[in-house]
Amino acid sequence: MSIGWYPGHMHKARREIGEALQQVDAVIEVVDARLPHSSENPLLNKLIGDRTRLRVLAKSDLADPVVTAQWLDFYQERGRACLLLDKSDPRSVRELLRRSASDLPARARRRNRIMIVGIPNVGKSTLINLMAGRKIAKVGNEPAVTKARQEIKLSEELVLLDTPGILWPKLEDQQAAYRLAASGAIRNTAIELGDVGLFAVEFLRHRYPQALRERYGLQHLDESPLALLERIGRARGCLTKAGLDFTKAGEVVLNDLRSGSLGRVSLETPADVPEPPSLDDESSGAEAPSS
């Protein structure tokens, strides 16, 4: 199955973000700590341009802390301003507020404006509520909760702009697309739950086998991912008169993965990031695609 998701309202969101960026001084880009690379939006690189930019790794409480440390090193080595956010730790929120304001110019006539951007269901609304110190933005477990731009006054000097989450129009890297689907960034109604659940089982078998053993009582993982998903589904009562309901079985695994019931799991490491084209590739005579 090929995964692609770009609801109509996201065309409008992209246009609104482009327009709003002309009025802001800095950008906070929120990515998912479980899959920082896949949850970046390539469109934002063009839209943000050279504005002050801080990348925040949200949902770090669900991510593998060892892998998260690797990501922080990865970004630091590349000179990218990055901050790990732990919603349960007030210190990380205070540090975010301090970092957000530290590079902003002093203005006499208007407040500084910071825009928060990111893909759907990445944790933007949770972050806004933490920064504001009160519940302002609606939080949900399904993507596309925020449908329109909103402005939040944080202080006399600072205004925060929230935006709807946008995914890029074509998910060309299908491995990244499956990671996004497994994380919950794509609506369940837009994916085949059995198929994405099968992907999750295969991923867990290779990288977090103990999580599968402990959560589902699986002693042997040398079977095919399909056979493992079937065993999980049967143990969890995903049966119909016609046999096993693989959609429900996939949903069981995905719900456990997204909720943290399988433990702290990262869906990618820096080693999974594709290498950029080499200079030899760029100068091989092939015409580069236009952007």
Neighbours of 50 (CB within 10 A): 5
Evaluate if residue 282 carries a pLDDT over 60. no
Evaluate if residue 283 carries a pLDDT over 50. no
- Residue 120 is predicted with a pLDDT of 81
Residues 230/239, Cβ–Cβ less than 8 Å: no
All domains of the chain in start order, with CATH: 9-162 (3.40.50.300), 192-272 (1.10.1580.10)
pTM confidence score: 0.81
Bigger pLDDT: 92 vs 148: 92
pLDDT in tens, 188-221: 888 899 999 999 999 999 999 999 999 999 988 9
Mean pLDDT of 83-103: 73
pLDDT in tens, 3-35: 765 556 566 667 777 777 777 888 888 999 999
pLDDT in tens, 119-159: 888 888 888 888 877 776 555 444 444 445 677 787 777 88
When pLDDT is cut at 50, 70 and 90, the band that residue 37 belongs to is: very high
- Residue 241 is predicted with a pLDDT of 85
pLDDT in tens, 160-196: 887 766 666 556 788 988 999 999 988 888 889 999 9
Three-state SS sequence of 116-156: EEECCCCCHHHHHHHHHCCCCCCCCCCCCCCCCCEEEECCC
Closest C-alpha among 253, 263, 258 to residue 122? 258
Token pair of 279, please? 């200079």
